[in-house]
């Protein structure tokens, strides 16, 4: 971060930065997610662009103070475009030794550490596996360490509160937040508002948390621990409009309701809880006033079955889960393909295989979405690139499913699901209506498999419509009548027709950020967008290299011009959080010698590592040209 000093309020100077990265880390019980969210909301409200990365511990609670129990929340906020939560924090708030230990390797030299000195006692150090106190043994010499007796200070601040000691102690996160608010010159009001809503009716808690927050702020202002504080101006690049913060999971929920409304039908969401997808169910279950029906099924099979049943009955049938759940839904999705019913399948991917690392992110379910069913069983696939885009692409997924009468996957991931960014509220009227091919009558006997020549959609006749009674099923169908058929030629025809349905989907051409042709094309998809874009822009800017980014939102079908786009670059690099799944699809489809770049660590790409890799690839490309 490069600073310019600006005139400051009396007291300490204010240094201005374009962007900053803060990470809050503490025990699962320390309220780090709330603290991080409040910092984010406040930053967004004062006009910064923001991106966040909450990093949960494993689902199950770990003993307090241990490494597996550490919960983290990172935010990057800036006056300029912010596409990722940042590689390395400028400031790490460490509520205990375990939080310090777990996060230390992510810090760069010179970073600031705000440590809760009180927690670095023998018991705490032992639980974190420290033999010596890192605050004292000189091992943190490369950093600016600010020791704050957070627990003591909070206790002192709340000494008049009627709260019991444990509850008092639970306020220390707001004390820490107060410090950070001062440090980055942010207002306290939004957090006051939140506290009052959250603890409504519990005045004691409201008072205590407000006081802790305020005292933290004053402490930072007064105490001699910081020599300056920082300002990050409102972002000027954001288009005007009304904004809110949105996480990927919230955006999916909103997108689903919107799509159903735009199609004039009801939304039915069948789901079985699973990390990190459960919040979509939770969000939708609160939208009953919008006519949303949610069904917590006995398992994932029941969830998708009910969704397909609802589609048969005329609703927008949607099911949401994560990878292991998708595995269970495979057979039923095949039935939706065969019966040509609309279905949206949300997969919030997590690190696998098997149970894997449920709270960590990954992109390794793309080929499962493509091929994870028996027989030739094609489906549409879209993948949002940012939390806010989860809204747009969810609407798109539903549109494709309803237009073509076919299942469509949305591949989100744990990073998008829990990460958040500002979202400009769309004008509901500006969203195009969705028009499924409903039929209400028929000349002559009804032909449920009479395909539309354009979309290849079959007519959607809802139960309750007299004269259109018909029977669907998973056995092969005769094109037109939909009767069961074992005819060899019809089968071949229907297999081809189901494949063609996907190819007929109208998807926009591939968007290339950067030169339209050149040395290196970075081909990405999904939640890696922020890191890839930032890295590509950096290399374009700093190296003046002919490198571009093509980030796919549509994975089946691919954008119609993708083959050509690939052909315009000397080298194609496919960075993915898997062992090369888009890479497999692209090579198979276009027989291009694309190069894979895999990271499978349960974590997003860092901008710096992508930049380094791009430089290697560019060197390689140049070397090849030289050789060739």
Partner 1 sequence: MAESTLPKKLTRKDFVSDQEVRWCPGCGDYAILAAIQKVMPELGVPREKTVFVSGIGCSSRFPYYMNTYGFHTIHGRAPTFATGIKCARPDLTVWLVTGDGDGLSIGGNHLLHLLRRNVDIKVLLFNNRIYGLTKGQYSPTSEQGKKTKSTPMGSIERPLNPLRFAIASEATFVARTYDTDVKHMGQVFEAAARHKGIAFIEILQNCVIFNDGAFDPWINKKAKEETLAFLEHGKPITFGAGGRKGIRLRGFAPEVVTWGEGEAPPADLVVHDAHDASSAPAFLLADLEAPMVMGVLRQVEAPTYDAGLVGQIERARERAGGKADLAALFREGAETWTV
Q: Which residues bind ligand TPP (CB under 6 A)?
A: 272-274, 300, 324-325, 328
Contacted entry of ligand TPP, partner 1, a second copy, none for residue 466, CB cut-off 5 to 8 Å set by kind: partner 1
For the bound state, the minimum distance from the C-beta of residue 334 to a second copy, rounded and expressed in Å, comes to 4
Contacting a second copy within 52-81 (CB under 8 A):
57-58, 68
In whole angstroms, the minimum distance from the beta carbon of 278 to ligand TPP comes to: 8
Q: Which of 377, 552, 574, 607 touches a second copy by CB under 8 A?
A: 377
Backbone angles phi, psi at 519, to 5 degrees: -80, -40
CA distance 553 to 562: 12
Per-residue three-class SS string for 485-524: CCCHHHHHHHHHHHHHHHHCCCCCCCCEECCCCEEEEEEE
Cα dihedral across residues 121, 124, 127, 131: positive or negative: negative
Nearer to partner 1, 474 or 563 (CB): 474
CA distance 112 to 522: 34
Told to check if 365 binds a second copy by CB under 8 A, we report: yes
Which residue number has the CB closest to ligand TPP? 274
In the complex, the smallest distance separating the C-beta of residue 439 from a second copy, rounded to whole angstroms, is 23
The least CB distance from residue 306 to ligand TPP, in Å, is 15
Q: How far is the CB of 209 from partner 1 (least distance, A)?
A: 17
Contacted by 578, from partner 1, ligand TPP, a second copy, none: CB < 5 to 8 Å by type: a second copy
Enumerate the β-bridge partners of residue 153: none
Picked from ligand TPP, partner 1, a second copy, none, the partner binding residue 464 (CB below 5 to 8 A depending on kind) is: partner 1
Minimum CB distance to a second copy smaller for 216 or for 334: 334
- Please report, as residue ranges, which positions from 318 to 347 form the binding site for a second copy (by CB under 8 A): 322-324, 326-328, 330-331, 334-335, 337-339
Question: Is the Cβ of residue 250 or residue 300 nearer to ligand TPP in the bound state?
Answer: 300
Distance (Å) of CA 546 to CA 14, 110, 138: 39, 33, 45
Tell me the closest approach of the beta carbon of residue 489 to partner 1, in angstroms: 22
Question: CB of residue 34 vs ligand TPP: minimum separation in angstroms?
Answer: 23
**Is 448 one of the binding residues for a second copy (CB under 8 A)?**
no
CA dist 318 and 337 (Å) reads 14
Q: Which is nearer to a second copy, 491 or 568 (CB)?
A: 491
Q: Shortest gap between Cβ of 179 and partner 1 (angstroms)?
A: 22
330 binds, among partner 1, ligand TPP, a second copy, none (CB under 5 to 8 A by kind): a second copy
Among 364, 416, 531, 610, binds a second copy (CB under 8 A): 364
Q: Which residue, 190 or 563, has its beta carbon nearer to a second copy?
A: 563
Grouping H, G, I as helix, E, B as strand and the rest as coil, residue 279 is helix
* Closest CB to a second copy among residues 346, 585: 585
**Minimum distance of a second copy from residue 271's CB (angstroms):** 16
Give yes or no for a contact between 46 and 186, defined as CB atoms under 8 angstroms apart: yes
Residue 160 binding result from a second copy, partner 1, ligand TPP, none, given CB thresholds of 5 to 8 Å by partner type: none
The candidate with the shortest Cα–Cα distance to 267, out of 295, 247, 246, is 295
CA distance 73 to 92: 10
167 SS3 class: helix
Q: Which of 204, 496, 623, 625 binds a second copy (CB under 8 A)?
A: 496
Check binding of 298 to a second copy (CB under 8 A): no
d(CA 138, CA 155): 29
> What is the Cα–Cα distance from 134 to 380, expressed in whole angstroms?
52
Q: Is 495 in the site for a second copy (CB under 8 A)?
A: yes
Least Cβ distance, residue 554 to ligand TPP (angstroms)? 28
Closest residue by Cα to residue 474 from 312, 360, 606:
312
Strand partners, 4: 16
In 31-152, DSSP assigns E strands to 49-55, 70-78, 91-94, 112-116, 144-148
Please name which of 446, 438, 432 lies closest in space to residue 405, comparing C-alpha atoms: 438
**Contacts for 478-482 with beta carbons within 8 Å, 24 or more apart?**
478/449, 479/449, 479/451, 480/447, 480/449, 480/450, 481/445, 481/447, 481/448, 481/449, 482/447, 482/448, 482/449, 482/458
> What is the DSSP pairing of strand 547-552 with strand 518-525?
parallel
Cross-strand pairs, 484:
477
Bridging pattern class, strands 438-439 and 460-461? parallel
Identify the helix (H) or strand (E) that includes residue 22.
strand 19-27
**Measured CA angle at 28 (ends 25, 33), to 5 deg:** 60
Asked if 600 touches a second copy (CB under 8 A), the answer is yes
Taking the least distance from each CB to a second copy, the nearer of 78 and 276 is 276
Closer residue to ligand TPP, CB minimum distance, 325 or 387:
325
44 binds, among ligand TPP, a second copy, partner 1, none (CB under 5 to 8 A by kind): partner 1
- Let me know: does 555 contact 400? Beta carbons within 8 Å: no
Q: How many CA atoms lie within 13 A of 22 on its CB side?
A: 25
245 binds, among a second copy, ligand TPP, partner 1, none (CB under 5 to 8 A by kind): partner 1
Q: How far is the CB of 343 from partner 1 (least distance, A)?
A: 11
Comparing CB distances to partner 1, the nearer of 160 and 298 is: 298
Q: How far is the CB of 486 from ligand TPP (least distance, A)?
A: 16
Residues 89-148 close enough to bind a second copy by CB under 8 A: none
- The answer to whether residues 65 and 128 touch, using CB atoms and an 8 Å cutoff, is yes
- Residues near 534 by Cβ (< 8 Å), separated by ≥ 6? 83, 84, 607
399 interface partner picked from partner 1, ligand TPP, a second copy, none, CB below 5 to 8 A per type: none
Indicate whether 583 belongs to the interface with a second copy (CB under 8 A).
Answer: yes
Residues 385-424: x where in contact with a second copy by CB under 8 A, - otherwise, as a string: ----------------------------------------
Count of residues in contact with a second copy, rule CB under 8 A: 70
Shortest Å, Cβ 341 to ligand TPP: 19
Residue 601 in contact with a second copy, rule: CB under 8 A: yes
- Which residues are CB-neighbours of 20 under 8 A, at least 6 positions away? 1, 76, 77, 78, 90, 91, 184, 230, 232
Which residues of the chain form contacts with a second copy (CB under 8 A)? 57-58, 68, 322-324, 326-328, 330-331, 334-335, 337-339, 349, 351-360, 362, 364-365, 367-368, 370-377, 473-476, 484, 486, 488-489, 491-492, 495-496, 498-499, 578-579, 583-585, 587-589, 591-593, 599-603
């Amino acid at each position: 971060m490069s600073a310019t000093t600006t005139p400051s309020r009396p007291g300490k100077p204010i240094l201005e930065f374009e962007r900053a990265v803060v990470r809050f880390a503490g025990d699962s019980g320390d309220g780090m997610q709330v603290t991080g969210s409040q910092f984010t909301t406040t930053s967004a409200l004062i006009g910064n662009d923001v991106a966040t990365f909450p990093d949960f511990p494993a689902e199950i609670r770990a003993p307090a103070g241990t490494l597996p129990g550490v919960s983290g929340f990172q935010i990057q906020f800036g006056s300029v475009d912010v596409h990722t939560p940042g590689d390395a924090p400028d400031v790490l708030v460490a509520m205990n030794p375990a939080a310090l230990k777990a996060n230390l390797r992510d810090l760069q030299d010179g970073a600031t550490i705000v440590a809760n000195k009180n927690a670095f006692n023998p018991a705490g150090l032992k639980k974190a596996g420290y033999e010596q106190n890192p605050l004292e043994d000189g091992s943190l010499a490369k950093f600016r360490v600010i020791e704050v007796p957070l627990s003591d200070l909070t206790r002192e601040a709340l000494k008049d509160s009627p709260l019991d000691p444990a509850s008092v102690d639970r306020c220390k996160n707001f004390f820490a937040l107060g410090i950070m608010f001062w440090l980055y010159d942010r207002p306290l009001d939004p957090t006051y508002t939140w506290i009052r809503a959250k603890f409504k009716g519990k005045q004691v808690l409201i008072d205590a948390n407000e006081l802790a927050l305020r005292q933290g702020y004053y402490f930072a202002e007064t105490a001699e621990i910081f020599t300056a504080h920082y300002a990050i101006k409102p972002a000027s690049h954001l288009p005007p409009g009304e904004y809110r913060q949105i996480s990927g999971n919230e955006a999916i929920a909103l997108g689903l309701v919107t799509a159903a409304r735009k199609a004039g039908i009801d939304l039915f969401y069948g789901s079985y809880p699973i990390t990190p997808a459960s919040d979509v169910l939770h969000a939708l279950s609160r939208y009953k006033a919008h006519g949303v029906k949610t069904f917590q099924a006995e398992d994932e099979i029941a969830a998708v079955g009910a969704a397909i049943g609802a589609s048969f009955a005329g609703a927008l049938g949607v099911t949401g889960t994560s990878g292991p759940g998708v595995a269970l839904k495979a057979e039923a999705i095949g039935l939706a393909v065969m019966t040509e019913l609309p279905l949206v399948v949300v997969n919030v991917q997590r690190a696998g295989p098997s149970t894997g690392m449920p709270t960590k992110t990954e992109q390794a379910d793309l080929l499962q979405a493509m091929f994870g069913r028996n027989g030739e069983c094609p489906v549409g696939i879209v993948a949002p690139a940012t939390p806010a885009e989860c809204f747009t692409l969810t609407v798109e997924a539903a549109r494709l499913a309803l237009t073509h009468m076919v299942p469509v996957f949305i591949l989100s991931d744990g990073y998008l699901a829990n990460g958040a960014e500002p979202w400009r509220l769309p004008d509901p009227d500006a969203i195009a209506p969705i028009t499924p091919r409903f039929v209400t009558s028929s000349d002559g006997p009804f032909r449920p498999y009479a395909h539309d020549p354009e979309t290849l959609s079959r007519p959607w006749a809802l139960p309750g419509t007299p004269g259109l009674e018909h029977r669907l099923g998973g056995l092969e169908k005769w094109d037109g009548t939909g009767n069961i058929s074992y005819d060899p030629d019809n089968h071949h025809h229907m297999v081809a027709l189901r494949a063609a349905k996907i190819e007929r989907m109208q998807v926009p051409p591939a968007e290339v950020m950067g030169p339209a042709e050149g040395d290196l094309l970075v081909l990405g998809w999904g939640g890696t967008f922020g890191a890839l874009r930032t890295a590509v822009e950096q290399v374009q800017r700093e190296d003046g290299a002919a490198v571009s980014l093509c980030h796919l939102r549509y994975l089946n079908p691919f954008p119609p011009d993708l083959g050509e786009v690939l052909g315009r670059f000397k080298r194609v690099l496919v960075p993915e959080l898997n062992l090369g799944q888009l890479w497999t699809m692209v090579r198979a489809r276009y027989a291009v010698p694309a190069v894979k770049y895999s990271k499978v660590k349960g974590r997003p790409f860092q901008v710096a590592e992508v930049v380094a890799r791009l430089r290697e690839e560019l060197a390689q490309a140049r070397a090849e040209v030289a050789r060739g």
